[in-house]
């Protein structure tokens, strides 16, 4: 009987043993518009909180996002918002825009190594989305904003906690993320980085060869290509 051919991935993934995926606009296409529903609820939350009109709420929301990394981080720092109340409110959305992705599930199932989700959202919402897509059983751990001690990506704190808690060697890890800025800390730690450039950054294409190893448009398509000879 012939010996089994070793499972080997092409460069720069040949040493990867741990795969870390963002959730929103990454494990489902940005074109679904799911995150737009959360965005709308954030704006409405700020309107109620501060008693401002929609346009001003949107300005405040984006100011916090660009200044603090997430809208929540800014609202906590500048307005003392309870993170649990905020997250419960803005994630109270229907998931009918997202459906089961059998091809993504198959690709993740064939991908060798440990797999994690690392999101600036919270775990209850993330689990709902993962189950809706049909990939909830593919991941060892869901590293959410609470696991990061409410210090969101791209702050390095959450990345370091994830690696320390689960004994992840960044040199043998790959991070897949739709926000290019969130790949800077991953690359600084020594991870291989994949940018899902699908328009979710609204034109802010922060593509830098120094912190992005590969640029893709869709995770399921990429996994098909990555694993096609395996």
- Do residue 73 and residue 168 come from a single domain? no
C-alpha separations of 81 from 28, 55, 65, 77, 92 in Å = 29, 20, 15, 8, 17
* 143, part of any domain: yes
Numbers of helices and strands, H then E, in the chain: 9, 6
Range of the domain at 51: 34-90
- Do residue 145 and residue 212 come from a single domain? yes
Note the pLDDT tens digit of each residue in 75-105.
Answer: 999 999 999 999 999 999 999 999 999 999 9
Give the chain's domain count.
2
- Determine phi and psi for 116, rounding to 5 degrees: -130, 155
Sign of the alpha-carbon dihedral angle for 170, 171, 176, 182: positive
- The upper half-sphere exposure of residue 132, i.e. CA atoms within 13 Å in the direction of its Cβ, equals 18
Q: Which of 90, 112, 135 corresponds to the end of one domain?
A: 90
Q: Is the pLDDT of residue 206 over 70?
A: no
Tokens (6 digits) for 139: 């991941």
Does the pTM surpass 0.85? The reply is yes
Dist. CA 213–CA 80, nearest whole Å:
38
Note the pLDDT tens digit of each residue in 107-137.
Answer: 999 999 999 999 999 999 999 999 999 999 9
Note the pLDDT tens digit of each residue in 10-61.
Answer: 999 999 999 999 999 999 999 999 989 999 999 999 999 999 999 999 999 9
């Amino acid at each position: 009987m012939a010996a089994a051919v070793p499972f080997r991935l092409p460069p720069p993934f040949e040493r990867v043993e741990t795969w870390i995926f963002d959730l929103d606009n990454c494990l489902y296409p940005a074109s679904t518009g799911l995150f737009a529903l959360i965005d709308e609820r954030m704006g409405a939350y700020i309107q109620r909180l501060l008693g401002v009109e929609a346009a001003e709420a949107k300005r405040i929301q984006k100011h916090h996002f660009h200044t603090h990394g997430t809208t929540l981080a800014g609202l906590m720092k500048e307005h003392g918002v309870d993170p649990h109340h905020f997250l419960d409110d803005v994630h109270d959305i229907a998931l009918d825009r997202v459906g089961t992705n059998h091809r993504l599930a198959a690709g993740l199932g064939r991908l060798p190594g440990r797999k994690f989700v690392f999101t600036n959202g919270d775990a209850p919402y993330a689990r709902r989305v993962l189950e809706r897509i049909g990939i909830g059983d593919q991941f060892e751990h869901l590293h959410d904003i609470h696991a990061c001690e409410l210090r969101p990506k791209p702050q390095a704190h959450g990345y370091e906690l994830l690696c320390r808690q689960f004994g992840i060697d960044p040199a043998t890890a790959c991070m897949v993320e739709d926000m290019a800025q969130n790949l800077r800390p991953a690359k600084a730690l020594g991870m291989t980085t994949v940018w899902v450039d699908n328009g979710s950054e609204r034109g802010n294409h922060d593509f830098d060869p120094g912190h992005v190893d590969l640029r893709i448009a869709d995770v399921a398509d990429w996994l098909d290509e990555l694993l096609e000879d395996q």
